[in-house]
């Protein structure tokens, strides 16, 4: 979806402000939100693409005015209700009013923490040969799906060069809708001037990780 989360190239957000000696969490609740997300995800309530899409679906004004972990909390509440795991009246009451439903992989226990501390593998066996090879010229498609996509707006319609083939991976656009639909993944490099015009820094190149369905030969 063409949401405010797709920020690459936007102006007006101001300077980057690094914080010296930044703590891992600024408030204790941030850690709990992060951990709840990880635990519920590991229990099989949803996958990472579903979780990302739920944050993108927050209204733009909410997305921009909320902190990172506030967004996680709001999106998690929304997903829990959407999936029928928690009811709206329970959120309002602040306690469970009905028993829980079974989760696909079961509740994450203290003995199982290792499961969330190492990232899973997103590589999958290929079902077709890769369409592109390093050195190929490709054009990012001008597409605007209303659903989740990992093709940022700022490259759409632009020509780049395939630099690496990263293997066949779970396709987030499909995964957010519930099926893995693995696709070839490429690192595609664009010249800064191709993306930002003649005035751009001539010594800038930008790459994205592009799934095969995002690309046409050029």
Instruction: Please list every residue from 63 through 102 that binds other proteins, using CB under 8 A.
Output: 64, 67-68, 70, 73, 76-77, 80, 85-86, 90-91, 94-96, 98-101
Is the separation of the CB atoms in 175 and 159 below 8 Å?
A: no
Cα dist. 96→49, 73, 103, 104 in Å? 27, 17, 16, 20
Cβ proximity to other proteins, 136 vs 171, nearer residue: 171
Residues 6 or more apart whose Cβ sits within 8 Å of residue 120? none
Provide the minimum distance between the beta carbon of 165 and other proteins in the complex, in angstroms, as a whole number. 11
Q: In this structure, what DSSP letter does residue 203 have?
A: T
Provide the minimum distance between the beta carbon of 170 and other proteins in the complex, in angstroms, as a whole number. 8
Q: Is 201 in the site for other proteins (CB under 8 A)?
A: yes
Q: Are strands 215-217 and 159-169 parallel, antiparallel or unpaired?
A: unpaired
For residue 165, the cross-strand partners are 186
Among 84, 198, 199, 203, binds other proteins (CB under 8 A): 203
Structure-token pair, residue 176: 């957010």
| Residue entry with tokens 């780049």 | 160
Among 40, 50, 58, 162, binds other proteins (CB under 8 A): 40
Cβ proximity to other proteins, 16 vs 133, nearer residue: 16
Cβ proximity to other proteins, 85 vs 177, nearer residue: 85
Among 13, 61, 104, 146, binds other proteins (CB under 8 A): 13
Cβ proximity to other proteins, 38 vs 216, nearer residue: 38
- How far apart CA 212 and CA 218 sit, in angstroms, is 13
Residues in contact with other proteins, shown as a per-residue x/- string from 106 to 135 under the rule CB under 8 A = -xxxx-xx--xxxxxxxx------------
Cβ proximity to other proteins, 73 vs 174, nearer residue: 73
How wide is the angle at C-alpha 155 spanned by C-alphas 153 and 156, nearest 5°? 65
Helix (H, G, I), strand (E, B) or coil at 162: strand
Residues 179-198 close enough to bind other proteins by CB under 8 A: 185, 187, 189, 195-196
Residues 131-170 close enough to bind other proteins by CB under 8 A: 150-152, 154, 166-167, 169-170
How wide is the angle at C-alpha 112 spanned by C-alphas 108 and 118, nearest 5°? 105
């Amino acid at each position: 979806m063409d949401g405010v989360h797709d920020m690459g190239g936007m102006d007006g957000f101001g300077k980057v402000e690094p914080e010296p000696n930044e703590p891992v969490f600024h408030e204790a609740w941030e850690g709990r939100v992060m951990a709840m997300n990880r635990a519920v995800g590991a229990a099989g309530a949803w996958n990472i693409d579903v979780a990302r899409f739920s944050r993108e679906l927050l209204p733009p004004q909410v997305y921009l005015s909320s902190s990172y972990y506030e967004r996680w909390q709001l999106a998690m509440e929304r997903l829990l209700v959407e999936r029928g795991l928690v009811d709206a009246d329970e959120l309002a009451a602040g306690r469970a009013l009905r028993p829980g439903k079974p989760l696909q992989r079961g509740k994450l226990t203290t003995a199982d923490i290792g499961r969330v501390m190492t990232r899973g593998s997103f590589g999958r066996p290929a079902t077709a040969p890769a369409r592109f090879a390093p050195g190929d010229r490709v054009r990012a498609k001008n597409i605007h799906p209303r659903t989740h996509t990992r093709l940022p707006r700022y490259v759409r319609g632009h020509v780049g060069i395939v630099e690496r083939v990263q293997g066949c991976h779970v396709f987030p656009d499909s995964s957010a809708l519930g099926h893995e639909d693995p696709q070839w993944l490429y690192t595609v490099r664009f010249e800064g001037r191709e993306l930002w015009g003649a005035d751009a820094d001539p010594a800038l190149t930008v790459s994205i990780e592009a799934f095969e369905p995002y690309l046409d030969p050029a």
